[in-house]
Amino acid sequence: MAYTGGMSTIDARKDAGRLLPVLTHVQTHLNDDLSLEVLAGLASLSASHFHRLFHHIIGETPKQYTQRLRLEQAAYQLKLLNTSILDIAINTGYHSHETFSRAFRRQFGITPKMYRRKESLREWIDQHTAESLNHLQTEFQISRPAIVNIQPISVAFIRNLGPYVDADMHAYDRLISWVKTRGFYRGDNLLLGVGHDDPTITPAEKLRFDACIEIDQPAESDGEIGFQVIPEGIFARTTYIGPYGRMLEQAYGAIFQQLFSLKRFQVIGIPAIEIYRTTRINPSYELNHTDIYLPVEKLA
């Protein structure tokens, strides 16, 4: 997470750590009451103190932050799903079509209906990846997707804000050291990455990527390290073999093309969950084995 000026590094990390449980609550409860009073209560702070701290650390007010996430989720659903605009509005915390449309237009400059008429996610993928996939396919390999159920996974995590390709992969070394000092390390703890945002919608500097390590029990936030539970669900799993960085980013285009051909399931959104089949992340390694999970639902 990024820290702004005006306080020591130690104080900034301590305060940011107090916000991590709030941020994880927001991302998993976007349809619920996320008022200032509710969020301040989660941090055990007064509403005024929480508001000042949140704005200082995150760079947005709590209301701006939660509304942006709701609208970005709605935009993703408008691109991907055939669900009615009213249902999408309700599913992202808005109680009327009119309120949702006004907020959406303020955020994206056009109405939800106009946005849906623009490039669909399928069209965007075809346009931006088709030409490159032929030569890139010789440099990475992906499996056919398999539909799987995953159980909840408890993880300690470090959040990175910014372009996914620039995520700090050394965060995994810090996570491993942290779990070792607390007796959580087994030697085979899963290493995961969670991308919470669609880079075609969310501004690059606000993209949220969590470097995660599996732990067997809940833990309190500790400085830059937070705790969350990756929820259970139905996912399409695709195995990727190849380097990280731009190549993995390009592979997502090929993965989505495969998922669009599924006959009984449709992709319903994010997060994208990456499980790295290794016990130590090596960004320079060329043949990384990664299982990529994208949430899907069964068609009626």
Residue 93's pLDDT is what? 85
Q: What is the mean pLDDT of the chain?
A: 87
Query: Per-residue pLDDT tens for 22-55?
Result: 998 998 888 889 999 999 999 999 999 999 999 9
203-235 CB burial, b ≥16 within 10 A, e <16: eeebbbbbbbbbbeeebebebbbbbbebeebeb
Residue 131 has pLDDT above 60, yes or no: no
Which residue's entry shows tokens 């849906």?
116
Give CA–CA dist 255/4, Å, rounded: 37
Give CA–CA dist 26/42, Å, rounded: 11
Higher pLDDT, 100 or 129: 100
**How large a percentage of the chain has pLDDT more than 90?**
62
Query: Per-residue pLDDT tens for 142-157?
Result: 999 999 999 999 999 9
Q: What is the mean pLDDT of residues 230-246?
A: 92
